[in-house]
Chain A
Amino acid sequence: MVEKVLMKGNEALAEAALRAGCRFFFGYPITPQTELAAYMAKRMPKAGGVYLQAESEVAAINMVYGASAAGARVMTSSSSPGVSLKGEGISYMIGADLPAVIINVQRGGPGLGGIQPSQADYWMATRAAGHGDGHVIVFAPSTVQEMADLVASAFELGDRYRVPVMILADGMLGQMMEPVALPEPIDSRSLPEKEWATNGHGGKRTHNIVNSLYLVAQQLEDTVVERSQRYARIKDEEQLAETYLTEDAEVVLVAYGAAARISRTAVAKARELGIKAGLIRPVTLWPFPVDTIETVIPVAKSFLTVELSMGQMVEDVRLAVNGRSPVSFFGHTGGVIPTPDEVLVAIQKAAMGEQFDLVPYHTRLTGGAR
């Protein structure tokens, strides 16, 4: 058995990237992800790689674009406001079919917001990581162990489908320490060669071009359609979710990341009270694990989505459930962490079969749901 070490989530992301063969990191300091950059700054030179503190998030993501074009496994990391800035580069990477791993250790927003844990960037990650018709694969770890494990998957899927991959964590996961068994390092020389890379043709082939510009409308449509076919394959093959006590669950919670940890405790408490509650924890947010939602539909009488936001993923749950059961929401935002007991109250309400959106506005101003 691999010996476990105690690590912060941010450090586990960094170490796992090194072990996945990543030797290039471009970033810019921002709380609460800074430990990741600091870890890379310390380890990269010793691993024969490059750590570069860019002048901005915009520059960092474009350095990632260049490094990926050259064929390297490359990573950048930031927190919410910084990821907004990366939007431009992410869109270009989508358009140029370049893989890379982008970390978002979310904090409260909008604007400068706060620095406490949040899940308010769900929409940005799954809907509009940048302009244009495109997606990034989004992973949502909920333990430090999973942060380490998903990094390798992120690099692999990125290379396989030629898409950027985002790991959507939050300040709680980034800052907390848990024991982690680190994955075995891979030999990056064993990775398949990227025939499309712009790494110098050496007189052996015609020139490669990395580009997202198509001035002829039909050509652009063809390109986007081809990419969408890859997206369809990703939706078919790459959905990931974990279930907890869902077999007989009448109230099914759906929560990811830090919110899933809190929800799991609340589900256990609900079971003690005789409420048949269960939890679906999406591990991929895009593709959203609609297939797992489908498996609980026959038994579930109601759904409850719990997020550290005013309600974003709940829209995907409602699309997946498609009116077949009420889908309610409970959340806190701005860095306020819900307690398991608060979630338990929401479970009790959901068990009564009504649909509600229980956000701080209602609890504070009216003392309860509408």
Chain B
Amino acid sequence: MAEHAKMPLNIMLAGFGGQGILFAGKLIAYAGMIDGHEISWLPSYGPEMRGGTANCSVCLSDEAIGSPLVTEPDVLIAMNLPSYERFIDSVKPGGVVIVDETMVGACTMRPDIEYHPVPATEIAENSGLKGLANVLLVGKMLAVTGFSSEKTLHAAIEKSVSAKHLDLIDLNRKAIALGAGIPDSDACTA
């Protein structure tokens, strides 16, 4: 994709509850807001609290947003296999798919999408950023789509991290930088 992502940009993030799907979506939404776009963030909500599936629709646009529910994502971030399987076919032709290779372990057969597998969970754990695979993937999305800037994302982190956990701000920033620099794994190249 280009340096600057085209608007509107409809993003679907999906994974297990507890992986930080909603938080990652919030970072993207905040960044979009700071950049002056119209934005919306819509979580899936259900009776399960932990361990169930969680997904989150984020829309960035330069016009008023209609339905906040993303049914044909321009970007899919999938953090586990069930989410990958559920949403891979809905991605728009030409769309971007970023998967946590550690958790998904599948390769797409679709030739019409950009596929970016990254072992985010593994890298996060090996880099002292356990639990921040979600933010790593946002960093990767930044590098791939250019939807915002690292500076904006830093500001978004400051808005999203609760005041009680200021120590997490630096870790989140590191995760963005790390994610933005990870090359695609070769797991899916023949």
Q: List A residues at the B interface (Cβ < 8 Å).
A: 4, 6, 31-32, 115, 171-172, 175-179, 258, 261-266, 268, 337, 339-340
Contact = CB atoms under 8 A, between A and B. Distances in A.
A175 B30 contact: no
Contact of A171 (B45, B47, B66, B67): B45
A268 B26 CA distance: 27
The 7 closest A-B pairs by CB, nearest first: A265-B66, A177-B41, A176-B42, A262-B67, A261-B66, A179-B33, A264-B66
Given A6-B26, A6-B159, A177-B29, A261 B42 contact: no
A171 B33 CA distance: 23
Contacts of A265: 66-67
B163 interface: no
Given A177-B41, A177-B42, A178-B39, 13 more contacts: A6-B33, A31-B45, A175-B42, A175-B43, A179-B33, A262-B66, A262-B67, A263-B66, A265-B67, A266-B66, A268-B66, A337-B69, A340-B66
B40 A178 contact: yes
B17 interface: no
Interface residues of B, number: 20
A261 to B, nearest CB: 5
Contact of B65 (A31, A175, A261, A266): A261
B71 interface: yes
Interface-central residue, A176, A177, A264, A268, by most chain B CB under 10 Å: A177
A260 to B, nearest CB: 9
Contacts of B46: 115
Interface in B23-74: 26, 29-30, 33, 39-43, 45-47, 64-69, 71
Interface of B: 26, 29-30, 33, 39-43, 45-47, 64-69, 71, 159
Contacts of A31: 45, 47
Contacts of A264: 64, 66
A176 B67 contact: no
B12 to A, nearest CB: 14
Nearest to B46: A115
B33 A172 contact: no
Contact of A339 (B29, B43, B64, B71): B71
Nearest to B25: A177
A316 B178 CA distance: 56
A261 B67 contact: yes
A175 B41 CA distance: 9
Contacts of A4: 33
Contacts of A171: 45
B47 A115 contact: yes
A29 to B, nearest CB: 13
B68 A261 contact: yes
A177 B67 CA distance: 13
Contacts of A261: 65-68
Contacts of A177: 26, 29, 40-42
Nearest to A341: B71
Nearest to A177: B41
